[in-house]
Amino acid sequence: MARLLAAGATDVGTRQNNEDAFLVRPEIGLFALADGMGGAASGEIASSCFIETATEIFARTPQPTEETLVAMVYEAFREANARILEYVAKHPKDHGMGCTGELLAFHNDHYIIGHVGDSRVYLFRDGMLRQITKDHSLVQSQLDNGVISVEEARNHPRRNIILRAVGTDPALQLDVIKGTGRDMDTFLICSDGLSDAIGDREISAILASGAPLDRSAQTLIQSALAAGGNDNITVILCELQNHEL
């Protein structure tokens, strides 16, 4: 049976309010993050709705099978999408609100990721950092098509434009990624406040330090703040421990 250690932290950065929301539930193998968008408090409402919906869906089935877990990931995104759209229909002034969505769920050493937007899930394994998810963003699209370089993408003035979000389209397009974890794998879930501020090399160095997860999470946030902290910054770290693998 796999054991999960985890820590999560968030910081408002230089913003006036924090539109990020996150969930850390290692005892049931569930981790989620949402980065809200929209005027006034609408981004906070959207991200909170995503987290609350995921919590509710997963509470219904305390010991799911792997197949059930996949269905629950889909259901969490579908239901959150519907709830945000319903809210906007009742509050037209909040038109355009929505959020990114990252959901990481475990069944023993098997993991399922649900992904929408430009928040990210990384895997740190054997000293190497790999981005598992691909950003649903204008910049990523231009990068894929060879329009811009990696360096241009990093500093692109329109890098905040996302092409998919929870709560903006009834026909939500969801990426689902499945995999098998290994002993001492570390998963990093983060909002773009981290990934836009510091690069993979710095993230890798912090994760390779061997510090406790809560300290590493704070170090990641402090590094992003030192780089400008122009956005809300949220980090979840999850370490898989399974010596039988």
Tell me the whole-structure pTM to 2 decimals: 0.94
Q: Minimal CA–CA distance to 213: which of 191, 180, 182, 235? A: 235
**Domain contains 145:** no
The pLDDT tens digits for 134-190 are: 999 888 778 777 777 777 677 776 777 899 999 999 999 999 999 999 999 999 999
**Domain contains 148:** no
**Domain contains 157:** no
- Are residues 53 and 76 in contact, defined by beta-carbon separation less than 8 angstroms? yes
**Domain contains 155:** no
- What CATH number is given to the structural domain containing 85? 3.60.40.10
**Domain contains 153:** no
**Domain contains 206:** yes
Torsion of CA 144, 148, 153, 156, to 10 degrees: -130
Domain count, the chain: 1
The per-residue pLDDT for 150 is 73
**Domain contains 183:** yes
The pLDDT tens digits for 90-117 are: 999 999 999 999 999 999 999 999 999 9
Structure tokens at 201: 């090399």
